[in-house]
A and B are shown apart, each in its own frame.
Chain A
Amino acid sequence: MTAAGREAGVRRPERTGAAAGQAAVLAAGVALLAAVAVVSIGVGAHRVAPGEVVRALVAYDGSADQMIVRDVRAPRALLAVGVGAALAVAGVLVQTLSRNPLAEPGILGVTAGAGFAVTVGSALGAAAAPAGQLAVATAGAVLAAVLVYAVGRSSPLRLVLTGVALSAVLSGVSLGMRLMLPDVFDQYRFWSVGSLAGRERAPLALPLAAIGIAVVGALLLGRALNAVALGDNVAHALGVSVTRVRSTALVLITVLAGAATAVAGPIMFVGLIVPHAVRPLARGSVPWLTVHAAVFGAVLLLLADMGSRVLLPTGEVPVAIVTAFIGGPVLIWAVRRYGAGAS
Chain B
Amino acid sequence: MFTGRTVRRCAALLLALALTATGCGSSGDDGTAAAEGGTRVFKADNGSITIPAKPQRVVATGYAVPPLIEAGAPLVGISTWKRGVPMMDAQTKATYDRLPKVAGEQAAETNYEAIAKAKPDLIVIGVPAPVLGDIDVNRLKSIAPVVAIGPTVPRAWRELSRRQADAAGVLQKYDATKTQYEAKAAQLAAKYKDVLPKLKFAHVGAYGEVSKGNFQREFDGSWGTNVANDIGAKYYGQVKQKGTGSRSVSEYPSIEELPSAFAEADAITYSVNTDGSVPESVKYVLDSDLWKNLPAVKAGRTYPIRYTEAATYRQAMMTLDAIDKSFAPLLKQ
Is A in direct contact with B (CB under 8 Å) within the complex? yes
A interface residues (Cβ-Cβ under 8 A, vs B): 44-46, 62, 64, 67-68, 71-73, 187, 189-190, 193, 195, 197-201, 314-316, 318
| Interface contact B214-A315, CB-CB below 8 Å | yes
Known contacts A67-B293, A72-B255, A199-B213, then 14 further A-B pairs from the complex at CB < 8 Å, ordered by chain A residue: A44-B254, A44-B256, A45-B254, A64-B290, A64-B293, A68-B259, A68-B290, A72-B256, A193-B211, A195-B212, A197-B214, A198-B284, A201-B287, A316-B213
In the complex, chain A residues whose CB is within 8 Å of the CB of B84: none
In the complex, chain B residues whose CB is within 8 Å of the CB of A44: 254, 256
In the complex, chain A residues whose CB is within 8 Å of the CB of B96: none
Mark each residue of chain B from 246 to 263: 1 if its CB lies under 8 Å from any CB of chain A, else 0. Answer: 000000111111011000
The yes or no answer to B210 lying at the interface (CB within 8 A) is yes
| Interface contact A198-B209, CB-CB below 8 Å | yes
In the complex, what distance in Å separates the CA atom of A198 from the CA atom of B208? 11
In the complex, chain A residues whose CB is within 8 Å of the CB of B288: 71, 201
In the complex, what distance in Å separates the CA atom of A72 from the CA atom of B210? 13
Of the residues A45, A62, A67, A190, contact of B210 by C-beta under 8 Å? A190
* Interface residue SS majority, chain B: helix
- Which 8 pairs show the lowest CB-CB distances between chains A and B? A197-B213, A45-B254, A198-B213, A64-B259, A46-B256, A198-B210, A190-B211, A71-B289
If A64-B259, A190-B211 touch, whether A45 touches B253 (CB-CB below 8 Å) is: yes
| Interface contact A198-B211, CB-CB below 8 Å | yes
List the A residue with the shortest CB-CB distance to B214.
Answer: A315
| Interface contact B211-A71, CB-CB below 8 Å | no
In the complex, what distance in Å separates the CA atom of A197 from the CA atom of B212? 5
CB distance from A59 to the nearest CB of B (A): 18
8 example contacts (A-B, Cβ-Cβ < 8 A) are as follows A45-B253, A45-B256, A46-B254, A67-B259, A67-B293, A187-B280, A198-B255, A316-B254
In the complex, chain A residues whose CB is within 8 Å of the CB of B289: 67, 71
In the complex, what distance in Å separates the CA atom of A71 from the CA atom of B258? 12
In the complex, chain A residues whose CB is within 8 Å of the CB of B287: 201
List the B residue with the shortest CB-CB distance to A200.
Answer: B213
List the B residue with the shortest CB-CB distance to A190.
Answer: B211
CB distance from B297 to the nearest CB of A (A): 13
In the complex, chain B residues whose CB is within 8 Å of the CB of A197: 211-214
In the complex, chain A residues whose CB is within 8 Å of the CB of B257: 45-46
In the complex, chain B residues whose CB is within 8 Å of the CB of A190: 210-211
In the complex, what distance in Å separates the CA atom of A200 from the CA atom of B290? 13
In the complex, what distance in Å separates the CA atom of A68 from the CA atom of B290? 7
| Interface contact A46-B260, CB-CB below 8 Å | yes
CB distance from A157 to the nearest CB of B (A): 24
| Interface contact A68-B212, CB-CB below 8 Å | no
In the complex, what distance in Å separates the CA atom of A283 from the CA atom of B212? 40
Mark each residue of chain B from 271 to 294: 1 if its CB lies under 8 Å from any CB of chain A, else 0. Answer: 000000000100010011110010
CB distance from B207 to the nearest CB of A (A): 13
In the complex, what distance in Å separates the CA atom of A73 from the CA atom of B289? 13
In the complex, chain A residues whose CB is within 8 Å of the CB of B254: 44-46, 315-316
Mark each residue of chain B from 46 to 59: 1 if its CB lies under 8 Å from any CB of chain A, else 0. Answer: 00000000000000
In the complex, what distance in Å separates the CA atom of A90 from the CA atom of B255? 32
List the B residue with the shortest CB-CB distance to A187.
Answer: B280
If A64-B293, A71-B289, A72-B255 touch, whether A198 touches B260 (CB-CB below 8 Å) is: no
CB distance from B236 to the nearest CB of A (A): 19
Within 8 A of A (CB), among B138-188: none
CB distance from B241 to the nearest CB of A (A): 8
Mark each residue of chain B from 211 to 225: 1 if its CB lies under 8 Å from any CB of chain A, else 0. Answer: 111100000000000
In the complex, what distance in Å separates the CA atom of A25 from the CA atom of B284? 41
In the complex, chain A residues whose CB is within 8 Å of the CB of B259: 64, 67-68
| Interface contact A315-B211, CB-CB below 8 Å | no
| Interface contact A68-B211, CB-CB below 8 Å | no
Candidate in A62, A68, A195, A199 with the most chain B CB atoms within 10 angstroms: A68
List the A residue with the shortest CB-CB distance to B241.
Answer: A314
In the complex, chain B residues whose CB is within 8 Å of the CB of A199: 213
